[in-house]
Structure 1
Amino acid sequence: MDSGLLCYCRAGFEPELAAELTERAAELGFAGYARTERGSAFVHYACDDAAALSQALPFSRLIFARQKLVSIADLATLGARASHKPDRVGAIRDALERSLPAGGAAFGDVLVETPDSDAAKPLAGLARALGNALRAGLRASGHLTPRDDPSRPRLHVVLVDGDRAHLGIANPGDRSDWPMGIPRLRMHPQAPSRSALKLEEAFLTLLDAREREAWLRDGMHAADLGAAPGGWSWVLVRNGLHVTSVDNGPLAPHLLESGRVDHLRADGFVWSPKRPLDWMVCDMVEQPRRVASRMATWLREGWCRRTVFNLKLPMKKRWDETRQCLAAFVAEAERPVEWRARQLYHDREEITVFARMLDSTRA
Structure 2
Amino acid sequence: MNHLFLHCRPGFEKECAAEITDLAGELGIYGYSKTKESSAYILFVTHEPDGASQLIKMLRFRKFIFARQWFACAEMISDLPVADRVTPLLAGAQGFGEVRELVIETVDTNEGKELSGLCKKFTAPFEKAMRAASLFSAKSNMRMHLVFISGTQAYLGVSPVNNSSPWPMGITRLRLPKEAPSRATLKLEEAWHHFIAAEDWDERLGAGMRAVDLGAAPGGWTWQLVRRGMFVEAVDNGPMDKNLMETGQVTHMLSDGFLYEPKKPVDWLVCDIVDKPARVTSMIIKWFTKKYCREAVFNLKLPMKQRYMEVKKCEERIVSELEKAGFRVDIQFKQLYHDREEVTGHLRVF
More displaced 10-residue stretch of structure 1: 43-52 or 186-195: 43-52
Query: Structure 2: which amino acid aligns with 1:238?
Result: R
Query: Could you report, residue by residue, the CA deviation over 1:318-344 in whole angstroms, capped at 9, with x for unpaired residues?
Result: 111111111122223233211111100
Whole-angstrom CA distance in 2 between matches of 1:54 and 1:121: 27
Whole-angstrom CA distance in 2 between matches of 1:116 and 1:35: 17
Contact 2:181–2:218 (8 Å) recurs in 1 = yes
State TM-score, norm by structure 1: 0.91
State TM-score, norm by structure 2: 0.95
Contact 2:99–2:140 (8 Å) recurs in 1 = no
Aligned partner of 2:215 among 216, 223, 226: 226
Percent same amino acid at aligned positions? Answer: 42
- The residue number in structure 1 matching 2:65 is 63
More displaced 10-residue stretch of structure 1: 180-189 or 64-73: 64-73
Query: What is the CA distance between 1:144 and its match in structure 2?
Result: 2.3
Find the residue that maps to 1:217 and give its secondary structure: coil
Contact 2:56–2:160 (8 Å) recurs in 1 = no
Aligned partner of 1:238 among 221, 227, 232: 227
Find the residue that maps to 1:316 and give its secondary structure: coil
More displaced 10-residue stretch of structure 1: 216-225 or 56-65: 56-65
- The residue number in structure 1 matching 2:245 is 256
Query: Structure 2: which amino acid aligns with 1:7?
Result: L
Contact 1:198–1:347 (8 Å) recurs in 2 = yes
Query: What is the CA distance between 1:292 and its match in structure 2?
Result: 1.1
Q: Does 1:115 align with 2:107?
A: yes
Query: What is the CA distance between 1:73 and its match in structure 2?
Result: 4.5
**For residues 221 and 151 of structure 1, do their structure 2 counterparts lie closer, same or farther at Cα, with a shift above 3 Å needed?**
farther
Whole-angstrom CA distance in 1 between matches of 2:63 and 2:42: 16
- The residue number in structure 1 matching 2:52 is 50
Query: What is the CA distance between 1:223 and its match in structure 2?
Result: 0.2
Whole-angstrom CA distance in 1 between matches of 2:151 and 2:120: 13
Query: What is the CA distance between 1:192 and its match in structure 2?
Result: 0.7
Query: What is the CA distance between 1:262 and its match in structure 2?
Result: 0.5
Q: Does 1:134 align with 2:126?
A: yes
Contact 1:206–1:341 (8 Å) recurs in 2 = no
Query: Structure 2: which amino acid aligns with 1:159?
Result: F
Query: Structure 1: which amino acid aligns with 2:226?
Result: V
Aligned partner of 1:124 among 100, 116, 127: 116
Query: What is the CA distance between 1:151 and its match in structure 2?
Result: 6.2
- The residue number in structure 1 matching 2:37 is 38
- The residue number in structure 2 matching 1:3 is 2
Query: What is the CA distance between 1:11 and its match in structure 2?
Result: 0.6
Aligned partner of 1:304 among 293, 317, 338: 293
Q: How does 1:124-273 map to 2 (within 5 A)?
A: 124-145=116-137, 149=138, 152-273=141-262
**For residues 199 and 151 of structure 1, do their structure 2 counterparts lie closer, same or farther at Cα, with a shift above 3 Å needed?**
farther
CA RMSD of aligned residues (A): 1.4
Whole-angstrom CA distance in 1 between matches of 2:346 and 2:19: 19
Query: Structure 2: which amino acid aligns with 1:23?
Result: D
Query: Structure 2: which amino acid aligns with 1:58?
Result: R
Q: Does 1:285 align with 2:274?
A: yes
- The residue number in structure 2 matching 1:361 is none
Query: What is the CA distance between 1:12 and its match in structure 2?
Result: 0.7
Find the residue that maps to 2:339 and give its secondary structure: coil
Whole-angstrom CA distance in 2 between matches of 1:262 and 1:158: 48
Query: Could you report, residue by residue, the CA deviation over 1:85-116 in whole angstroms, capped at 9, with x for unpaired residues?
Result: 5421111111133x33xxx4x21111111000
Contact 2:57–2:160 (8 Å) recurs in 1 = no
Find the residue that maps to 1:340 and give its secondary structure: strand
Whole-angstrom CA distance in 2 between matches of 1:217 and 1:19: 38
Whole-angstrom CA distance in 2 between matches of 1:136 and 1:250: 55
Contact 1:218–1:240 (8 Å) recurs in 2 = yes
Unmatched tracts of structure 1, length 5 or more: 359-363
**For residues 94 and 151 of structure 1, do their structure 2 counterparts lie closer, same or farther at Cα, with a shift above 3 Å needed?**
closer
Q: Does 1:90 align with 2:92?
A: no
Whole-angstrom CA distance in 2 between matches of 1:212 and 1:4: 36
Find the residue that maps to 2:111 and give its secondary structure: coil
- The residue number in structure 2 matching 1:356 is 348
Whole-angstrom CA distance in 2 between matches of 1:300 and 1:86: 63
Query: Could you report, residue by residue, the CA deviation over 1:224-262 in whole angstroms, capped at 9, with x for unpaired residues?
Result: 001000110110011111100011111000000011100
Find the residue that maps to 1:296 and give its secondary structure: helix
Unmatched tracts of structure 2, length 5 or more: none
Whole-angstrom CA distance in 2 between matches of 1:55 and 1:300: 36
**For residues 151 and 213 of structure 1, do their structure 2 counterparts lie closer, same or farther at Cα, with a shift above 3 Å needed?**
farther
Whole-angstrom CA distance in 1 between matches of 2:193 and 2:139: 18
Whole-angstrom CA distance in 2 between matches of 1:53 and 1:19: 15
